Each structure stands twice: as structure tokens, then as C-alpha cells.
Structure 1
């Protein structure tokens, strides 16, 4: 009962904040590193969810049994031109009810050029090794919750949020003296003059009230 009352209170609050959204200019694809590549030329898709703009499945969201949500399966192709050194994968929510803010659900780098798919197991933190490394051997930047990845969790009453999955092909590998100290801001700066091509897939999620 208490959870339901709390959910309704949140719904009232976030309905009032409904029009605070669409912070697209702060998405990574709109950063200075992409100025010479304004259009996506990589086809990124999610076989589980269908075409871009579709609805995320419950297990990709806070409705999952663990409350965290899993990464949807992603597949992409090589860019039409250029030699790929490595890939970067980032998942962002530009519709959070905080002015100018984009919430980064996951940011992964050091993805091999031979890799053309991502699964949830790939983005889970590998607790058997030191540092910010996933089971696939990718490096990650922790989100605000301190985890490698967290699924969609739009607030009650704030309507549908967009979850923007972006794959970035780099012309040369990223070099960080301290990979475990990388932030989103450091990553955006490091991508300058290295972006070869990129692709994007968008999933939607609206949180239902608890029963």
C-alpha cells in the first residue's frame, strides 16, 4: 500500500515536470567529435525489439525481476568506408526531468573491431578482475548508480522516455593513462578526430503504476 501511495505521489510530481525533456543537444552524437559525421552510416538494430523507435521489453527495464534491467541484444555492421580500430557503445536517456541533463545508462569502450554484436553478458562487470572491465573484456565508465549498465527506468508520470543506443566506430584506438578514471566528459574529448562512423537505435519505455 505504501509503495502505491509513493508511486502516485511521484506521478503527480513528474506529471508537473513533463515538459522538462528532449535534451538531445547533449547526446554524444551531437558533441564536437561528430561535427564531420552528422549522419549515421552504421545500421544498428535490436533483434529483440524490432525497428528503432519500438518499445523495450520488460526485462530491459526496471520491471525486470532484478529491478535493474538488461541490455537488449544489439547488432551492427561495419561502416561503408575506413578501417575500424575499435568501437564505443553508449546508452543515453535525453528525457530525464532535470534541465540539460542526459542520463548515461552505460558507456563501453575498447570493443574490438571484429565485434559486431552486444549481449547483456558482455556489459556485466567482471568481478574476477581488477578495474572497470566487463566479462567481454570491454572497459566501462560507471553510471551515476555506480554500475556498468542499468536498464530503462523512466519516472512514474513522466511519460515515455527514449533510450538512445549509439555505436561509434573509431579510426584509431583510444589511449588512456588511467582507464579506470575515464568519465563521460573525458570520453567526449578523447573521441575528437577519431570518429569514423556511427549508428543509432532508440527504444521507448513508460513506467506503469504498480498494482
Structure 2
């Protein structure tokens, strides 16, 4: 399985549009070659370079197995019809929160990790990362990521 974004190449700079310095909308993503027995997907976006440890920017779960892409600008609601459920990020909000590293830092890395699961998660909308990871435990059958970088002008 692999994942990519039409907005940026793997390991390249994430355009300002998708950050706190721009429109702060989620980028489009698409994936290929999921396992044939996938029952649902989870997408987690994290910054491992954050000053206080890994920072979670986006949690999207119970993505239907029929999907192979996400459009740009997923609404920041707990449940998005036909797309899935969203959790609470480390900004304390539902949905996508774009890159926003401190201006004093070099560019950070942002990983968009897609997990293929053998079941949907028995969670309500608005779950936190620990709940989602606990529910995923033992159900991940494949995973892939695309990584983008972003740094703010000093």
C-alpha cells in the first residue's frame, strides 16, 4: 500500500495553503494497493519534531474501504458523511490542524500515516489519539505514509 498527495511530493515542502500561515485546510490525499480484505482506514498526521514531543495534527478514522482518496479541505466536523469520523488533535480541536511550527525552529516533518484495518473501530466521533490507537491494536493489516516538511520564516 502507498499514499501520496497531489499537493506535495514525499519529503518536499507542504504549501502554505495547508498550514496555519495559509488557509489551514487539509491537503488532498490518495492511496493505492490496499489489502483486499481491508474493512476501514485510519489516517493520523503527526509532527515528531515538536518541542514537547510528537504533536498530533489530524485523526480521521472509520474511512470506508471503498475510498482511495480524500478531497482537499475535509470539513472540521466530528463526522463527515461518506468520509469518516474525526478525532481531537493536539490543538484541542476536531479535524485537521495544519503545520504551525515555532518560528525559531528549522522545518519540521509532518507524517500522514494511513492504516488499513481488518475492522471498523467501535468509537464515537471525537475520540482522542490514545483511544484510536487502542482500538486499532491488533487490527492493522497494512500501513503507508507520505511526509512533508514545513518551516515558518524567522
Query: TM-score normalised to the size of structure 2?
Result: 0.91
Matched, 1:76 2:22: no
Contact in 2 for aligned 1:124/1:135 (Cα 8 Å): no
> In structure 2, do the counterparts of structure 1 residues 137 and 77 end up closer, same or farther at CA, with 3 Å as the change threshold?
closer
Task: Give the 3-state SS of the residue equivalent to 2:133 in structure 1.
Answer: helix
- Residue of structure 1 in register with 2:104 after alignment: 157
Over the aligned positions, Cα root-mean-square deviation in angstroms equals 1.6
- Residue of structure 2 in register with 1:45 after alignment: 4
> In structure 2, do the counterparts of structure 1 residues 180 and 78 end up closer, same or farther at CA, with 3 Å as the change threshold?
same
> In 1, Cα distance between the equivalents of 2:75 and 2:36?
30
| Aligned pair partner of 1:62 in 20, 28, 52 | 20
Deviations 1:166-208 (A, max 9, x none): 11100112113xx145221111111111001011000000101
How many correspondences in the alignment?
153
> In 2, Cα distance between the equivalents of 1:193 and 1:59?
36
- Residue of structure 2 in register with 1:9 after alignment: none
Matched, 1:207 2:134: no
> In 2, Cα distance between the equivalents of 1:144 and 1:166?
16
- Residue of structure 2 in register with 1:170 after alignment: 117
More strand by share: 2
Structure 1: which 4+ aligned runs deviate by more than 4 Å? none
> Offset at 1:49?
0.9
Contact in 2 for aligned 1:142/1:149 (Cα 8 Å): no
Deviations 1:14-52 (A, max 9, x none): xxxxxxxxxxxxxxxxxxxxxxxxxxxx111112212x1
Contact in 1 for aligned 2:45/2:113 (Cα 8 Å): yes
Runs of at least 5 residues in structure 2 that lack an aligned partner in the other structure: none
Query: TM-score normalised to the size of structure 1?
Result: 0.68
Task: Give the 3-state SS of the residue equivalent to 2:119 in structure 1.
Answer: coil
- Residue of structure 2 in register with 1:118 after alignment: 70
> Offset at 1:58?
1.0
> In structure 2, do the counterparts of structure 1 residues 95 and 119 end up closer, same or farther at CA, with 3 Å as the change threshold?
same
